[in-house]
Amino acid sequence: MRHRWFVVSFLMSCMAGPAAAQSVCDVTYTAQDGETPSHVAQRHYADPARWTWVTAANPDLAQGQAEPFAQGDQVFIPCMAPNTAGPAAQPLQDTGLMLLAPDGVAPLVSRTWPAQGMFNDLLAAALSESVAPLTHAIAWQDKAYGLDPQMLAGRELDMAVAMARPECSSDPAPAICARFHFSDPVVMVPLLLFARADANFSFDSTADLAGLRLCQPAGHDAQDADQNGQPWPSDDTIELETPERPEACFEMLMEEQVDAVALNALTGSSTIAAMGLNKQVKAFGKPLAQQTLQIAVPKVHWRGTTVIYRVNSGLAALRASGRYDQIVDRHMALLWNRLN
Amino acid sequence: MRKVVFGVVWGLVALAGVVAQADSCGGPYRVKPGESLSMIADRLYGDPTLWERLHAENMDVIGASPDAMRAGMVLTVPCMDGRPNALTEPKVSDAQAAAKGGLKVLTASGFAPFADRDLPDGGLIAAVVDAALTQAAPQTGHTIHWIEDREAHLDPLLSNALMDMGFPWPDPPCEQGLQRPECQSLLYSDPIFEMLSLLFVAADRGKAITSLDDMQGKRLCRPAGFPTHDLDRNGRQWVVDDQVTLLQPDQAADCVQLVLDGRADAMALDEFSGRVALRQAGAEGKIVALSDMPVAVETLHVVVPKAHPQAGQILDTFNKGLLKIRENGTFHDILSTHLTPFWEGS
C-alpha cells in the first residue's frame, strides 16, 4: 500500500497561524460573483465533479455545472450526496448495506465532513467498484465504540466501522475473531502523540511514556474488550484517561490534567485546528503505531463473506486505478484548507 | 405447522386396524422418475407419512435404504382403507392437495450447512423456509419432502409442478436472456442467503493459480444436481462453451477425493458446502479454497414452478413470511444457530 503520510507531517509542521475553525460542510456559503457550482464544489469538496451536490441542495439557485451564482447567493453546502433513492418500498436485494459508524472521528468518519469522511468516501467507492455493486447508508453512533458482538444483532445493521484490526491469524486468536469478519484496512493512519508545545519530555520509544498521564478517546483503541489495544506496554506508571470525544482529551491537555494525547494524526490535527490550539499543541514525529480502520461484519450475517469480498476487491480495484489516492488527496486538501 | 416426512415413527400408528378390502385395491406400482416413497404414499393414500409402511412392504425390492429406490422399480402396494383402487393417477384438485398435506416443499440432503436431513432442523435454509411459511401461512401448512435424487428436482418434479416449492436454489443469470431451464421453469423468491462460489484446489497448486483464466481446459468437479450456471458468469463461459471438463459425481465427498487423487484440478462449489465437504473428508490443509478469486457471488432462493396455477400467490406468501421473520428477529436467530457451529469448526 502506498502511504502518503509525509503529507501529514507536513501539515503538522505547518500548523501555524490562527485556524479557520468553521465547519467544512453543512454550512451556508456566500457565493462570489461569477462562481459556478463547479467552483464551489472545488472549494468545499476539493472535487469539482461534486457540483451536483451543490445544485441539488440549492434548487432555486444556479442549476448548471457552469452557470454562475449571483453575488451574495446563500449556497448551502451539504455533507453528503443528495438522496436520490426512492422510499423504502423496494425488494430486499435492492436495499443497500447499513453501516454503524462512530461520529466525531473527522476527517475519517464524521457526519460533518464532506462525503461523511474519507473512510466513508473510500468505502462507497470500493462497494461501487466490486463485481456485484452495493450502496451503503450510515447509522451514526454518537461516540466511538468498542466492537461488541451484540451491537449488530439487530436486524437493520449489516456492518460496523472497526477502529482496530485484531490479529486473527495469531494463535490463540483474539475472541472477537470468532464473531466478526474483518475487511482489509480501508484507511491506515499513524497514531501520534500530541503534547503541549512547551512540554519538557521527548518521545523516542514507548519507554519514554513511563510516569506520564495519557489521554485517548474511548473506542479509538477499539480492540475487543478483553484485549489490551494500546500500543504501549502495560505499565502501572502510565495513567490513562478515556473520555468520549477527542476534544475532551485536548481540553484535559490544556488544563494540565494529562501530559499527552494519543490520537490518529488526521483526527488530532483536525481537532486541534477546530479548537484553535495550533500554537499550543505539538505532535511528536515518531508514530506510536499505525492505526487501521476497517469494516467488521458478523460471521452469522446472511451475506457476511460477500460483503467482505466486495470491500476488499473494491479497494484493490481503487488502488490499481489510482482512484484510491485521488480520494485520499481530496480529503487531505480539505484538511489542509481547514488548517490554514 | 411442519411435518418432516422421513423418520416420523408415529406414521405407523395410523396403520393400526387397516385391513385389506376389495380385490381391486392395491397391487403393483411402477416408480416414476423422481418419485420418493413419501410422494407415492401421498399420491396413493393421500398421506405421505405412510411411506414407512410402503418401504417395509417392499424391502426386498428397494433394500434397507429408502434412498436406494429408483425409477422403474415395481413395488407391491398394499391396500389400506380401500386405497388405492385401480392404481390410476388420482385426480386431486390443487385445493384438495393443499388441504391434505399443505404446500409440498422439495429439497435434498448433501447441501450442508443449508439442507441436510442429518442437520438440526434440516439445515439453515430448511429452518428459514419452515419459519417463513409458518409465519405467512400457518393454516395452509407445509410438508418438506426429502428426495435425494437431485437430478429429478428440476425435471420432472418442479417443471411439472408436482411439487409446490423447492430449495435451496442459486439464482441463475436469467437477465442475460439465457435459455436455461432454471430460468424457463422456475420463479425465484427474494434472496435468503448470499455467498461466494469458489474453486478448491490441492494445497501445493494453490499458489500457482494467479487468475481464474488459468482454469481454462482444466477438469472441474461439481456434484451432480448442483446447477452450473455460476461457471458461466462474469464474462466466463466455461460450461456452455466446453472450456472446462466438468466432472459430476454424486456427492461433494467424491469431488474432494478426485482432487486429492489428482483426477480433478479443482472442486467448484460454494464456500460453505465446499468447506463442509473438506471437513468431513479430513482434507483441510490438503485442499485450499481460492477465496481471493471467487467464480461468482451467488444468492440462494426458494423456487416455485412457473407451471403451478398458484405460482405467484405461493411466491408472494413465502416472500412475505421471509420479510416478517427478518423483521421479528427469527431470521437472525436461525442464522446464529446454524452458522455459529460452522465457523467454530473452521
- Say whether pLDDT at B116 is over 90: yes
Q: How confident is the model at residue B90 (pLDDT cuts 50, 70, 90)?
A: very low
Helices in B192-265 by DSSP H: which ranges? 203-206, 252-261
Give dist(CA A250, CA A248) in Å, integer.
5
Q: Does A153 touch chain B (CB under 8 A)?
A: yes
Q: Which residues of B311-327 are buried (b: 16+ CB within 10 A; e: fewer)?
A: beebbebbbebbbebbe
Give dist(CA B210, CA B200) in Å, integer.
14
- Do residues A39 and A45 lie in contact, with contact meaning Cβ atoms separated by under 8 Å? no
Residue B87, pLDDT score? 62
CATH number at residue A247: 3.40.190.10
pLDDT 10s digits, B230-258: 999 888 899 989 999 999 999 999 999 99
Domain of residue A159, residue span:
1-22+146-305
- Say whether pLDDT at A181 is over 50: yes
Which residues does chain B have within 8 Å of residue A303's beta carbon, measured at their own beta carbons?
Answer: 193-195
pLDDT 10s digits, B154-175: 989 998 889 999 999 999 888 7
Residue B56, pLDDT score? 82
Q: Are residues A175 and A273 in the same domain?
A: yes
Nearest to B196 among A93, A155, A306 (CB): A306
- Say whether pLDDT at A30 is over 60: yes
DSSP-assigned letter for residue A318: H
Domain boundaries, chain B: 2-77, 103-192+299-344, 194-297
- Say whether pLDDT at A107 is over 90: yes
Domain B2-77 top-level CATH class: alpha beta
The alpha-carbon gap from A169 to the nearest alpha carbon of chain B, in Å, equals 13
Closest CA relative to residue A307, chosen from A315, B149, B66, B302? A315
> Which residue is closest to A181 within chain B, CA to CA?
B343
Q: How confident is the model at residue B38 (pLDDT cuts 50, 70, 90)?
A: confident
Residue A12, pLDDT score? 54
Which residues does chain A have within 8 Å of residue B344's beta carbon, measured at their own beta carbons?
Answer: 178
Q: Which CATH architecture has domain B194-297?
A: 3-Layer(aba) Sandwich (3.40)
Superfamily of domain B103-192+299-344, CATH level 4: Periplasmic binding protein-like II (3.40.190.10)
Q: Are residues A233 and A249 in the same domain?
A: yes
- Answer whether A155 sits within 8 Å of B327, measured CB to CB: yes
Residue B16, pLDDT score? 33
A95 within a domain of the structure (yes/no): no
Instruction: Answer with the residue of higher pLDDT: B179 or A283.
Output: A283
Residue A11, pLDDT score? 54
Beta strand ranges found along B33-177 (DSSP E): 74-77, 103-107, 142-146, 165-170
A2 within a domain of the structure (yes/no): yes
Q: How confident is the model at residue A339 (pLDDT cuts 50, 70, 90)?
A: confident
Q: How confident is the model at residue A258 (pLDDT cuts 50, 70, 90)?
A: very high
Name which of A88-92, B2-6, B119-123, B275-279 the model is least confident about.
Answer: A88-92
Q: Are residues A72 and A190 in the same domain?
A: no
Q: Are residues A292 and A181 in the same domain?
A: yes
- Answer whether B196 sits within 8 Å of A153, measured CB to CB: no
Q: Does A70 touch chain B (CB under 8 A)?
A: no
Q: What percent of chain B has pLDDT over 90?
A: 55
A113 within a domain of the structure (yes/no): no
Same fold, B103-192+299-344 and B194-297: yes
Q: Is B27 left (phi over 0), alpha (psi -120 to 50) or beta?
A: left
* ipTM rounded to 2 decimals: 0.83
Q: What is the mean pLDDT of chain A?
A: 85
For cell 461534486, the residue is: A50
The alpha-carbon gap from B218 to the nearest alpha carbon of chain A, in Å, equals 24
Instruction: Answer with the residue of higher pLDDT: A85 or A119.
Output: A119
Which residues does chain B have within 8 Å of residue A91's beta carbon, measured at their own beta carbons?
Answer: 190
- Say whether pLDDT at A55 is over 70: yes
A175 within a domain of the structure (yes/no): yes
* CA dihedral for A324, A325, A326, A331, sign (positive or negative): positive
pLDDT 10s digits, B204-231: 988 888 899 999 999 999 998 889 999 9
Query: B-contacting residues of A 94-133, CB under 8 Å?
Result: 131-132
A240 within a domain of the structure (yes/no): yes
Q: For the residues of B25-48, what is the DSSP string, one character each?
A: BSEEEEPPTT--HHHHHHHHHS-G
Name which of A46-55, B5-14, B220-229 the model is least confident about.
Answer: B5-14
Give dist(CA A183, CA A119) in Å, integer.
13
Q: Does B235 touch chain A (CB under 8 A)?
A: no
Residue B19, pLDDT score? 35
Which residues does chain B have within 8 Å of residue A92's beta carbon, measured at their own beta carbons?
Answer: 190-191, 323, 326
